[in-house]
Amino acid sequence: MNNLDLLIKLAIEEDIGSGDITSQATIPEALLAKAQIRAKQDLVVSGLDVARRVFAEIDPSISWKTVLREGERCGKDEVIAVLEGKARALLAGERTALNFLQRLSGIATLTRTFVDAIAGTKARVLDTRKTTPGFRILEKDAVHAGGGTNHRMGLFDHFLIKNNHITAAGSVSAALERAKAARKPGQKIEIEARAMDEVKDALECGADIIMLDNMSVDQVRDAKALVAGRALLEVSGNVTLANVHAYAETGVDFISVGAITHSPPAADINMLIEIGS
């Protein structure tokens, strides 16, 4: 069983437990129904496959027809998917499927808003590790669906030397030299810089990517001039929709936005059933 299968099973068990007592009491077991999942706001769709798999786990006989594609913009009142099957099974899966779909579409929608805000610049919107525990793959897929770019998946696949690493290592140069000695062919090393002297140290020690942490737009512009293309630059910290374009206009390569995964508003999506099939 892979992690996503386990997550789906846990989510269903959390909601259904020993059984949906309301549906069992009010709906005949053999009653068939049709359901439409609809957007109640403009959004970018994400999470279609996991929502489909929720219903398939509850009752493999449920049919699922996707109307919109992953990453597609969706207008208010548009149909996202159509399902048919036993009414009890449809209702048993409704909340769990919608929880996934609303969360992931919310991430994709907010990501698209940031991506649109920097259109016309070279910068790309990056996600972070500020994800819901257990949901990381899904949430990073949602960022991709919204037009963003995935940063590292975890601590295992990308060197990112942050302030605590620098403190523990003793200096920027010591941390970088140790990382360079440990890296495998093709791996890039990124390091956080909080001030211009750290940018200079990172550059002199051969960092591939320098993360400009909590710097103002003017400071980022100065760092860009100093680096002059000798390393890639990432802006991180206190990035909002109000200032993201100004940061992008400095010419940096990446802008990481933790908010797209740690605090997106859930997309407003519902499911309504009709009796009969």
Alpha carbon distances (Å) from 117 to 45, 78, 186: 19, 25, 32
| Active-site choice (95, 124, 200, 221) | 95
Positive or negative: CA dihedral 149, 46, 239, 263: negative
The residue annotated as part of the active site, out of 73, 124, 130, 152, is 130
162 is catalytic: yes
R_g over Cα of the chain = 23
Q: Could you tell me the CA-to-CA distances from 86 to 28, 52, 110, 234 in Å, in that order?
A: 9, 15, 35, 51
Q: Are 102 and 49 in contact (CB under 8 A)?
A: no
94 is catalytic: no
Catalytic site includes residue 29 = no
Q: From the candidates 192, 198, 201, 234, which is the catalytic residue?
A: 192
Strand partners, 124: 254
Select which of 84, 94, 213, 234 is catalytic. 213
**Is 130 designated active site?**
yes
| CA separation for the pair 176, 202 (Å, rounded) | 8
Q: Is 213 a catalytic residue?
A: yes
Query: Given 73, 162, 180, 194, which residue is catalytic?
Result: 162
Token pair in block for residue 213: 């942490």
Catalytic residues: 95, 130, 162, 192, 213
